[in-house]
Structure 1
């Protein structure tokens, strides 16, 4: 049985760890809050008191963390993953972070004989629960093949997109598209409501035409119902749009629509909506017209 050390049991990590347990892996999880560890234990996994304890005997180490500084601390810290992981093990980072941080982790891991995959995911909480995530994977072909069984246990669309850091670059592009799409769906919803149109009927017909998208299907009803329980928090999308803008600037790429979406997301977070699902961007769009 492959032993997996799993770091980060939050909205995404918790269901992913549970799916790995269900797939037959021996999963030892660590999280800063004990209730998340207790939940994994109830689902058949094991708990660890420290990062070191979680990864010391693992064949594969998985991290699902909020941001680049978290990955740097947990992976590169003095008593972190690389200080305790066995040579020859595989490190799979499902976090969404800066591509340059991923490359730094890969270089440090290589010095210890550890293979890495940057494997950011898309699909939100429900995708994590259903093991139906889209996973964009960076790393060597050999590491990708070694990690494929683990990836298959948590995802549905799994694509090797290039060397270390490439997964994070594709995820940045994903977040750019999603933010812009959410913003336009929010504008359309605000427009339909102002015109007195039945929004349920409007969403249904829009979804059947060229305007249809997964974002429209998943987020439009949330906007109509004003139900913004977080599947993916606005504050995290705010962080991701910062990654997009910085990475685009590095290579001299203009993202004019992305810049507008970035500012709208930032404004929503600044006005206290950061803990809402990113469909909560609707509130910011509606406020611009005095409708929320």
Structure 2
């Protein structure tokens, strides 16, 4: 049941919820209250647009109380200049302080991350967060040992052969090349049933990336982590990653380096303006 309810005392019959419903299942006859017919409930995307668009907070759905939502207005969001500086100034962090991030901050970031968009509002993502420094160290050791052992035993697929060389280089140079000495990692996975699974994974990590920057954290998209877990399915399974799920990883923590200015690469992407 959707529990679609409209407060008669608040509703002004403006029709905003009817017009904004992506599925087009909310209907309103004259001055009657908006409604969703039982036979149409299965088409609901559960996006809560009806709750969000109502100017009077009259609409409730899925048991959500509109009074518990944050109010929005013209000044609610960062301005273009602030967002532009955030995007231009964000850098990948490959050096981290040996200091754990407060679990309350991590929990707050993940709570907000649950609002990231997903294709068809599927919301079928799982956040695998390593917020324990000791667990992160064990993962580091298992990946390094596992990749080298698999290479020696001939069990490492050809497309992953470079990973063993990366580990060997790191050991010779005394550097953690795979996990960059990061104290934490976030791996987002999507089920095979998700209509846009991999896109959803990337969208959520991009959202986490920007959120983390505003909290003063450093992040880096870690293809080496994703590839290592794909090469060592037994390690992936130990992290709770089910077979067949699409996933990618991001490292994060307090950065050991602060950058003094933005880089200059506005010409890094080609811009095309097709005319039809």
TM-score range normalised by the length of the shorter chain? under 0.3
Structure with the largest fraction of helix: 1
Q: TM-score, normalised by structure 1?
A: 0.26
Q: TM-score, normalised by structure 2?
A: 0.27
Q: Considering Cα pairs closer than 8 Å and 6+ residues apart, tell me whether 1 or 2 has the greater RCO.
A: 2
Q: Which has the larger radius of gyration?
A: 2
